[in-house]
Amino acid sequence: MKYVAEYRDPAWARRLSEEVARVVTRPWTLMEVCGGQTHSIVKHGVDAMLPTGIELIHGPGCPVCVTPVGLIDAALHIAAMPGVMFCSFGDMLRVPGTRGDLLSAKAAGAEVRIVYSPLDAVQLASRHPERQVVFFGVGFETTAPATALAVAQAASRGLTNFSLLVSHVRVPPAMEALLSTPGCRVQGFLAAGHVCAVMGTAEYESIAARHRVPIVVTGFEPVDLLRGVLCCVRQLESGRHEVENEYPRAVRDGGNEPAQGWMKEVFRVVSREWRGMGILPGSGLGLAEPYARFDALLRFGIRSEGASPETECSSGLILQGRLRPPECPAFGTRCTPEHPLGATMVSSEGACAAYHRYRRPKGRT
């Protein structure tokens, strides 16, 4: 398949790993900030192809995983209300709040529906005027334009029974927060290609310059990732700290300007809580004033309260790259995809789910 099979070519991947070994002279620690990249690294053994000393650690690259417990609780509260049809991507249904998850709410009688696009929720609102249809807007800048378009369509149709529980987050402020944390080991980033396909690369320039870290935009296949590692290592070895685009087949420096336009029209930048990382200034998207009437929290008079983190789950440390999934005592025993303690084991982009699927230790279920 064009643009897939060639980027999984073992010979090409081997040549790239050999070139990394030829270039490197000292240990370096790199972080990918994309759950899809994490799964590709673990599935294809990209990290095992690298020379000793090159360490890949996994960052907060899963939007489902970073959605805070308090917002899950708000979703459960809204979903349980009479006359509400609560719509969400499937990954969100099993993320635990303090009082269960959306799948349990559905089993208990709440009208919770899985949709594949926020526009599906708009169609449901149009077909069911007797219901209040709420869409759980979760994701990085990758999915935010589609949510923005859904809100704009609801406004243009005059729908009064559609609203949005907003949990969209922005990647650059999270990278800033990680680099500003005492003891941060990250010396270079592999930036998420799909986020940059929308937003471009300009936002990363100041981060690279201020923290003196290379940021390399890369894709999701093994060859993409190894090329990103090689570019990052070359910069580190030569003392450079620049933004490089190694995913030009999908990313332009300016990004997708029409998509950005919809985001600017419908959203405004706000501070937002990230699971395991606290409140990060400027890291979220909220509805702009002309569209505030579509805010589900305002419509239903609900406050998203900060909730205590899971007592046993180590997802906060895992999302910051400070702990690997197998290092969590509950991994693969008390915490499995069937009985997850936290979001990183639930989501298809979660690091714990990746390790459980592809590298589950012997003796663990």
Two structure tokens written together for 32: 């990918």
Q: What is the model's pLDDT at position 70?
A: 92
Tens-place pLDDT, residues 24-72:
999 999 999 999 999 999 999 999 999 999 999 999 989 899 999 999 9
170 pLDDT exceeds 80? yes
Pair 315, 68: CB distance under 8 Å: no
338 pLDDT exceeds 90? no
Q: What is the mean pLDDT of residues 349-358?
A: 93
Tens-place pLDDT, residues 234-259:
999 999 999 999 999 999 999 999 99
Tens-place pLDDT, residues 273-286:
998 889 999 999 99
Q: What is the model's pLDDT at position 364?
A: 52
Average pLDDT, the chain: 93
346: number of CA atoms within 13 Å, CB side? 24
Report how far Cα 31 is from the mean position of its chain's Cα atoms: 14
Q: What is the model's pLDDT at position 4?
A: 78
Q: What is the model's pLDDT at position 309?
A: 53
**Which pLDDT band, with edges at 50, 70 and 90, does 362 fall under?**
low
Tens-place pLDDT, residues 4-34:
788 999 999 999 999 999 999 999 999 999 9
**CA 80, 61, 198: angle at the middle one, nearest 5?**
95
Q: What is the model's pLDDT at position 307?
A: 54
Q: What is the model's pLDDT at position 305?
A: 63
**CA 53, 356, 272: angle at the middle one, nearest 5?**
80
Quickly tell me which residue has 């759950």 as its tokens.
35
Two structure tokens written together for 50: 């690298």
State how far the Cα of 26 lies from the Cα of 53, in Å rounded to an integer. Answer: 7
State how far the Cα of 16 lies from the Cα of 248, in Å rounded to an integer. Answer: 18
Residue 85 burial (CB count, 10 A)? 21
Pair 82, 130: CB distance under 8 Å: no
Q: What is the mean pLDDT of residues 190-217?
A: 97
Two structure tokens written together for 321: 């790259």
Q: 317: Cβ–Cβ under 8 A, 6 or more apart, which residues? A: 276, 323
223 pLDDT exceeds 80? yes
342 pLDDT exceeds 90? no
98 vs 304, more confident:
98
Q: What is the model's pLDDT at position 59?
A: 92
Q: Write down all domains in the chain, each with its CATH number in brackets.
A: 1-359 (3.40.50.11740)
Pair 218, 59: CB distance under 8 Å: no
Q: What is the mean pLDDT of residues 96-104?
A: 90
Quickly tell me which residue has 């290379």 as its tokens.
214
Q: What is the model's pLDDT at position 361?
A: 63
Tens-place pLDDT, residues 175-187:
999 999 998 999 9
**Which pLDDT band, with edges at 50, 70 and 90, does 117 fall under?**
very high
| Longest alpha-carbon distance in the chain | 66
Q: What is the mean pLDDT of residues 93-108?
A: 92
161 vs 343, more confident:
161
